[in-house]
Amino acid sequence: MKDFLKNILSTMIGVIMVFSLMGVLGIISLVGMIVSGSGTVEVKDNSVMVINLSGVMEERAADDPMAQFTGRVGTSIGLDGVLSAVKKAKENKCVKGIYIEAGLFSADSPASVQALRDALEDFKSSGKWIISYADSYTQSTYYICSVADKVLLNPQGMIDWHGLAAQPMFFKDVLAKFGVKVQLSKVGKYKSAPEQFTADGMSEANREQTTAYIKGVWDEYLSDVSKSRKLSKQTLNAYADSFITFADQKDYVKLKLVDGLCYTDEVADVVKKQLGLSADDKINRITSGDLNQVSSGDDDGDEIAVYYAYGDVVDSNPGGIGSSACIDAQKVCRDLKSLADDDDVKAVVLRINSGGGSAYASEQIWHSVVNLKKKKPVVVSMGGYAASGAYYISCPANYIYAEPTTLTGSIGIFGMFPDFSELLTEKLGIRFDEVKTNKFSAFGTPVRPFTAEEMTHINSYIDRGYKLFRQRVADGRKLPVDKVEEIAQGRVWLARDAVGIKLVDGLGSLDDAVEKAAGLAKVKTWHTESYPAPPSWLDQIMTTMSTDTYIDGKLRETMGGYYPMFMYLRQLDKHSAIQARMPYMLDIR
């Protein structure tokens, strides 16, 4: 018996020692990763920057610290990181060109896709070359890669070129199946965000504005591809109408959509030839991540802060499943005050990519932007969206830049209040009684919908909120209120059209916004710092290991493009009741 217990104890000690050793080795490996990741990378001569267009491109994407342990490939691409790397590749004499390998790829907006393409166009202005390859091109990847000097395709591949369509979803009937209705109060003919819960189709006003901006985006696509491929816009439109996606691959060459057909293993020879290498030579590849670790040597001069604000505008970060990037009013206000008080920061660029959200939160951030502007110049750089609540926080800036396909404006407010009374009483059979002291004591109860008198008070409150929003825009853009009213009413505008009505000052990139901010601050040499700082490696690891993040990841993987709308619907009762939000979560295909 003693020998048995001794053997058991020895085994347990052995197991504990093994796991302890594995833990120590894991910590050593993690420290090594952190140390190596914080170092700088040396670029070899005759290098090629490789861009892998696969996954989802977001405004900013955090590194996945567990990927090196698990071998998992990241599913998101940070637009900020790619743009920074392309700029460094342009300026680095050792980088001779860029090779793009296109796969299954999507972006949060047409403007983000256009920003990447513009950066590649700028890269070519240095005299360097770009080669792209794909087994098949999606419409977004073809639009980006059409800028390349050589566009290559697999001999059995496809080019998806069919035009754009917007397909908003409507949930009125599905909510009704559960006994849920949505009570609505809104201001603005074009303020169409609530339609998805109160209607079963698009209003004529919403159809008008949606048609205008998808046609505008498509026209930008046609113009850019036409310039690069030396094909007329009429020809490219005809290709889309003929559903050229299913054309014979050799026809793609004849029609000048691609420059050649080759298999994956043959692309390296094309790149080597471009570099002047022999077949036996090795290509010096360098990634976006590598280039962003290369010391730029441009930390001299004054600091221009670039503050990233993207996602829904919320009163505070709700956390939990689906707690993706958001513009947390409490945190943003604290951060902007810190930047205002920092004497080393000479100007601030707000990089905004949001369709809006809480009207109350938007007002709080507006106030912080106004206070910041009193101390130093503020320039806004709009990403894919800067509409409704996001335009609210943009309008007091000294200057506003946007991409041509940015969606902006949507000056309007609505109140949306879920009514669960039928679900509770008819579907679940719950009965309620009531005792109250005053006429409106039971206001907001889930037991019944609002009365006509209660809705009158709500409508009055929403109307005051709209007038305040309108006044904020008038003051910020130095326009008469009646002029703002003409372009408001919840109308969404494409940025290239917004310039003419003075909602936007100019079309340009983030770099243009930084240069403008430096000019307003009257500084001759400058460097940029990005805010908020990315999460620490430990925070990223803890987030990656959390159950909520795992479930959220699986939902994203399963639902694909329907995920954002599902999460919005799931958290319908958790959103601020008074919203300044653009129409829908746009799914432009």
Q: Which domains does the chain have, with CATH numbers?
A: 47-162+243-291 (3.90.226.10)
Encode pLDDT of 13-61 as tens digits.
655 655 555 554 554 444 454 444 445 678 889 999 999 999 889 998 7
- pLDDT category of residue 567 using cuts at 50, 70 and 90: low
Question: Which contiguous run of DSSP H or E holds residue 336?
Answer: helix 329-341
Catalytic residue among 191, 346, 376, 516: 191
User: 306: which residues sit within 8 A by CB, 6+ positions away?
Assistant: 348, 349, 351, 381, 510, 514, 528, 529, 530, 531
How much is the average pLDDT of 449-466?
92
- Tens of pLDDT along 174-233? 888 889 888 888 888 888 888 888 898 999 999 999 999 999 999 999 999 999 999 999
Higher-confidence residue: 29 or 493? 493
The mean pLDDT of 572-583, rounded to a whole number, is 60
What pLDDT sits at residue 38? 47
The answer to whether residue 191 is catalytic is yes
Q: Which residue is catalytic, options 185, 362, 388, 576?
A: 388
- Please report the pLDDT score of residue 36 as a whole number: 46
* CB burial string 377-408: b at 16+ within 10 A, e below: bbbbbbbbbbbbbbbbbbbbbbbbbbbbbbbb
- In angstroms, how far is CA 547 from the centroid of its own chain? 24
Q: What percent of the chain has pLDDT over 90?
A: 61
What is the model's pTM? 0.84
The verdict on whether 84 is a catalytic residue reads no
Closest CA to 45 of 89, 94, 88, 96: 94
